[in-house]
Amino acid sequence: MRIDELPQIREVLQKSNLIAKKSLSQNFLFDLNLTLKIANLNGSLINSTVLEIGPGPGALTRALLASGVKKVIAIEKDKNFIPILKDIEKVYPNRLEIIEQDALTFNLESLNHISNLKIISNLPYNIGTKLLINWLQPKIWPPIWRDMTLMFQKEVANRIVAKHGTKAYGRLSILAQWRCSVKISMNLPPEAFRPVPKVFSSVVSIFANDRPQFTANPLILEKIVKSGFNQRRKMLRSSLKKDNLNIEKILLSSGIKSTLRAENLTISDWCNLARTIENYEKS
């Protein structure tokens, strides 16, 4: 099925003589039927603006535009893709804004005037977790984005949706599930990409809830969860000590055994601990 008048992605790449760069996690999607599916996983795109990280040769970008997105703001670090993306813009005038920039330095707050913002991306895996953590920790909640449809390496996707008591449960699970609803929406084999990577991939859907599941000061929660899981083999009384010298007392008054480890605490426990720390600091 043709979704636009542009040549196939394979032809576009061949014509431009571009070779995928490992350093930029370049594993491309060629199948526009597949990118159409990914683009529409979380419902209609009409009236939405989409932030896309790493459009590359544009398979997902074209699917988003063909699906009726009002505008795609695409951030690409590799300058070689800019002319290819400009050709897409010609077919969809004024609906594709191409920004040549490192996504890690892009200020999401600059988009705070946009309503109904979605982030949809086949992420560069080498910076995927870092980007997600930034998006999950905005200064104000609810965040600028409403929902995200993001491709990750399967192991990372499993960590985002992991429940307490499972092996994959950790910092990513807590940061994501504290204030968002998350699910794996699609699994993809390595062969879906070119060049074929060594890993399997999954698309995760993340919806920002209006309010967190449990009350907690985000700065305190983020700090203790990070310290706890940075030293996940250690008991909480040691892993959290550098953040708070009175941690043994605080754990006791939160009803949490100081000999437990980070992975033993549910999201509710972590929020309870963050509240006790806040009260302790205030008193």
CB of residue 24 vs ligand SAM: minimum separation in angstroms? 4
Residue type for 100, please?
A: E
Gap between the Cα atoms of 55 and 28, Å rounded: 9
Gap between the Cα atoms of 251 and 274, Å rounded: 10
Q: Are 18 and 80 in contact (CB under 8 A)?
A: yes
Using CB positions, name the residue nearest to ligand SAM: 54
Binding site residues, ligand SAM, CB under 6 A: 24-29, 53-56, 59-60, 75-78, 102-104, 122, 124, 127
Nearer CB in complex with ligand SAM: 29/182: 29
Start-to-end C-alpha separation, the chain: 65
CB of residue 119 vs ligand SAM: minimum separation in angstroms? 13
Nearer CB in complex with ligand SAM: 73/251: 73
Q: Are 85 and 55 in contact (CB under 8 A)?
A: yes
CB of residue 268 vs ligand SAM: minimum separation in angstroms? 35
CB of residue 176 vs ligand SAM: minimum separation in angstroms? 21
Alpha carbon separation from 52 to 108, 156, 259, 282 (Å, rounded): 12, 19, 43, 41
